[in-house]
Amino acid sequence: MVMTTKNESAYGPKPAWPPGDAHAQTADAGPVELTRDMGPGIQALAGTAGCGLLLLVVLLAAARRRLHGRPSPLALAACSMRGKTVVVTGANCGLGRATTLALARLGARVILAVRDSARGEEAAVELRRELGSEEAELVVRELDLASLASVRRFCARLEREEERLDVLVNNAGVFRCPYALTEDGFETQFGVNHLGHFLLTALLLPLLGRSAPSRVVVVSSALYKQGRINFDDLASERSYDPAAAYGRSKLANVMFARELARRLRGQGVTANALHPGVVRTNLGRHVSMPALARPLFNLLAWAAFRTPEQGARTAVFLAASPDVADVSGAYFGDCRQEELLPVATDDAVAAKLWEVSERLVGLRSGGPDGIPLAPSVPDSEPEERPHRGDPQRGDAKTAP
């Protein structure tokens, strides 16, 4: 995969979690040494501030247990995924890993769709250890959502090797990364979070249809509320704001799920979107903050944010629960259906986004109600799109 960026790759290094890392220990040591040379008044003030911070952390930890320690609805439901095959994108870490673990515990055969096969195999070994069974059906397959060619290879392999696909969990994503282009010339967040999953879902629809009843689960975010679909600048050629680009990609996820549900009505395949809440994962590795603030942020994240296991509950609920077997086109949070803002319920925009997405990834419509079933030419390239740079040559360059 070829990507361009001003700083680091959009898939940068994983930050240190939780707050007991080396950075936190160094930061904690500084103020203690300084107070030795301070007067009694300043020492008292520092002590009061420290006690206040400690109290805040204790209260946040209590709130965390109260808000996120509730038993999952799955614990009360007779859910079984035995005999079911599930694909989870981004399954080797964070929410994807937690989703994979939960579904495997329910008896599912899970295909871990990951960018790095070696890391995927490492994750599978760890998951089997946690499951306490070397017999757990975990299959690792390479999938780079920043490459349309990789998506096509992944889907072609599944069509050859798999007899059925019961659930597709579109989980993988990037968050507020520096401006970069995928190898196909898309802005990374829109390309990975929306277009890669759009093509993946479209190419797997025949297999999902043959396995009906089946489900598509789309992991979005409550930050869809900040998103806007600007069809005149989907590649962020004119301007780029990481937060706005992320919100747009998550809004596209919601609109895609709703439009997919509309097109699949009566086909035996459901599609729903969800937000997992604020979760402690490495997704926020590109969010910048002062070095001294990072340990405090890590501490607050530990106290107040959800664990990946808690964040994965709604995805697992939508993938496995019989309670939502006939629900499609909805948006969920905390295993409950939630109302969408008007920005996400504009059917005309959703239909246009679908058509534009088809064109960008090189699909044609086919089958009932225009459901995309196959690429227009098996290994054809999508239409040419100029990259940032010389519009005649399409040279890929980083944004200023």
Would you state the pLDDT for residue 117? 98
From residue 273, how far is each of 104, 114, 224, 317, 328 by CA, in Å? 21, 21, 11, 12, 9
**High-pLDDT (> 70) share of the chain, %:** 65
Tell me which residue of 141, 140, 105, 108 sits closest to 125, measured CA to CA.
140
User: Band of the pLDDT at 383, cuts 50, 70, 90?
Assistant: very low
Question: 131-135, 162-166, 287-291: lowest mean pLDDT where?
Answer: 287-291
Would you state the pLDDT for residue 79? 85
The overall longest dimension of the chain from CA atoms, in Å, is 79
User: Band of the pLDDT at 136, cuts 50, 70, 90?
Assistant: very high
Determine the Cα angle at 317 with ends 312 and 320, to 5°: 120
Q: Is the pLDDT of residue 69 over 80?
A: no
Q: Which two tokens stand for residue 327?
A: 């629900």
φ, ψ at 373 (rounded to 5°) = -110, -25
Tell me which residue of 291, 176, 289 sits closest to 236, measured CA to CA.
176
User: d(Cα 225, Cα 394) in Å, to the nearest integer?
Assistant: 33
Would you state the pLDDT for residue 134? 86
Q: Which residues have a catalytic role annotated?
A: 246
- Let me know: does 252 contact 191? Beta carbons within 8 Å: no
Would you state the pLDDT for residue 381? 47
Q: Is the pLDDT of residue 230 over 60?
A: yes
φ, ψ at 288 (rounded to 5°) = -90, 145
Query: Which stretches within the chain are classed as H helix?
Result: 22-34, 40-68, 94-105, 117-131, 148-161, 188-189, 197-210, 242-263, 293-304, 308-311, 313-320, 347-361
DSSP string, 317-352: HHHH-GGGTT--S-EEETTEE-PPPGGG--HHHHHH
Amino acid at 299: L
> Mean pLDDT, to the nearest integer, of 11-39?
37
For the stretch 348-379, pLDDT in tens is: 999 999 999 999 999 976 544 445 444 433 44
Q: Is the pLDDT of residue 218 over 90?
A: yes
Mean pLDDT of the chain, nearest integer: 79
- Let me know: does 317 contact 73? Beta carbons within 8 Å: yes
Mapped onto helix, strand or coil, the DSSP state of residue 304 is helix
Q: Is the pLDDT of residue 9 over 90?
A: no
Amino acid at 28: D
Which residue in this structure is represented by tokens 């509950």? Answer: 313
CATH of domain 73-276+312-369: 3.40.50.720
> Mean pLDDT, to the nearest integer, of 39-53?
53
H or E, element range at 287: none
Comparing 234 with 209, the larger pLDDT belongs to 209
